Structure formats: C-alpha cells, structure tokens
Amino acid sequence: MADQLLDDVGTLLRETAADVVLPLFRRLDDADVTEKAPGDLVTIADQRAEERISTELRRLLPGSLVVGEEAVAEDESLLRHLRGGGDVWVVDPVDGTGNFAAGRRPFALMVALLTEGELTASWVYDPLAGMLAVARAGAGTRVDGRPVRAADVVPPERLRGTAMIQYLPSATRDRVVAGEGRIGELLPGQHCAGREYLDLLTGDQQFVLFWRTLPWDHAPGVLLVREAGGVARRFDGTEYHPADDDRGLLVAADEQTWHEVRAALLGD
C-alpha cells in the first residue's frame, strides 16, 4: 500500500469533519436526529459524512467496496463483504453519535481497510482534539505523524481503563464489578470507541473492555492498537476479526496487561 493512500484518507477525514460534521455540532434541529432502532441514533451529519467518505474512498481505490454503518442499517447483507476478497472499507462516519447529538464530546471519524479479509490499514480522527491516528499492517501506528508504541508495562495496582458494564450480561457484569478492586482504576465509558482507542495509544489508559463489537466501532481501533504493540481479543482469548459477530472484546496496551485485566475482571 502506498503511503500516499494513507495520507489521502487522513486528509479526507479532516476535510469531511471540517466541511460536514463540525458545522452541525451543537446546531442540530430535532428533525436532524432520528432513531434507527430504540436508543440507536443517527443524525444528518452521520448520513452526509458517510456519503462523502464512501464516494471518495471508492475513487481513491477503484474497485473497492464500502461497508458503512448507515448503509448497513439499510442493507445488512453488506456485512458479507467483510469475509470477501478484494479491498473493503469499513466506515464509521461519526463514532459517538449519542455524544454528538447531545452536543457533547468526544466523537470521531473512523475508517479501516480490509484486503482479502484482513485488516491492512486504519484511521481514527478526533476532530475536536485535532488528533489523527493512522496504522498500516506491518508498519506501525502514528499519531499526528509520530510513531507510537506501547509504554512500559504498568503494575496491576496502577492500571487504568474502561469497562462498558452497562451492556454486559448480568453474570459478566457482576464479575467485572467484583473485580474492580483488583486493578487501579475502572473508568466510566466515553460512549465513543474511537476515543477509547486513542487513549490507549496515548497512555491515558491501559485497557478497555467492550461487549458490543460492531465492525465500524472496532476494526479501525484494533489495528491501531495491534500495530502499537497491543492486543485485542475476545474474552475467550481468540483474536478479533471484524466479520465475527461474537460479543465481548478486551483490548490492552500489551500482552501482560491483557492477561492481568482478564484475570481481575473476567476470571471465574
């Protein structure tokens, strides 16, 4: 993959945020926000941003397909492309739509590229922070142009991370709550997976535990973390893949942290 494509997609996200998303932040009318399903919001910013991003991604990589969050809401059969061949983009036009609709931060624009079914590149852009993270398989992760790697391993009593407990099954939630005292600090979720992944890269937290694992929420961030030396696995230890419809994902800044957090929060 040419570095020019990495730059071009990063520019696309910056321009889409500036031209489409940010002008609508805290300026939405009631009619601009609807529900795809109970509690699952979509705004005109999501729709317009996805349309623009999808069109430009196809232009940048002729013959590629796009699996976008809003397009899948209209046609779930698009998900089959995540196991297919060729080049497939995964797009979350506004990650953290609930925050965006309420006029809160954070929110992010996210894209991942799968080639022959494997993650090959990803981008996460937080427009309010002006932070862009980019990864290419085998070439590492960069945040605002600077290479990043996992920091030194943090002892359990100093670990800091998020567990999205409100979505967990009751038995799993009880285990997580019971294990909270075995690690340093369990943070409330930010309702924006993209920002959680960025905070792993910056060292603001060392882990994050999710239950819902929709591909557009996690494919971009997983590659960023992996290429920075971290791990992203299902609760049973199997590696994450965007096409899997399993629930539960534990992401950590390094191998040792993954095992320590799993033992503390998910151990029997």
The last residue of a domain, from among 94, 114, 148: 148
Sorted by sequence, the CB contacts under 8 Å of residue 91 that are 6+ apart come out as 50, 53, 54, 57, 66, 67, 68, 69, 110, 111, 216
Output the pLDDT for position 154.
87
Domain with 95, as residue range(s), is 3-148
Number of domains the chain is built from: 2
Output the pLDDT for position 225.
97
Output the pLDDT for position 174.
93
Same domain for 23 and 137: yes
Which candidate, 196, 179, 174, places its Cα nearest to that of 252? Answer: 196
pLDDT along the chain (268 residues), means of 10: 89 98 97 89 97 98 97 95 94 97 97 97 98 97 93 88 90 92 91 97 96 96 97 95 92 96 90
The CA–CA distances, whole Å, from 215 to 101, 114, 185, 220 equal 21, 11, 27, 8
Contact 249, 240 (CB under 8 A): yes
Same domain for 135 and 43: yes
Same domain for 228 and 101: no
**CATH code of the domain covering residue 92:** 3.30.540.10
Q: pLDDT by residue (tens digit) across 69-95? A: 999 999 999 999 999 889 999 999 999
Same domain for 30 and 80: yes
Output the pLDDT for position 37.
81
Same domain for 104 and 39: yes
- DSSP letter at 238 equals P
Output the pLDDT for position 36.
87
**CATH code of the domain covering residue 200:** 3.40.190.80
Q: How far apart are CA 116 and CA 82, in angstroms?
A: 9
Sign of torsion over alpha carbons 32, 33, 37, 38: negative
Same domain for 98 and 128: yes
Q: pLDDT by residue (tens digit) across 167-203? A: 899 999 999 999 998 999 999 889 999 999 999 999 9
Q: Quick one: tokens of 55?
A: 């069109």
Q: Is the peptide bond before 106 cis (omega within 30 degrees of 0)?
A: yes
pTM of the entire predicted model: 0.96
Same domain for 164 and 121: no
Output the pLDDT for position 166.
83
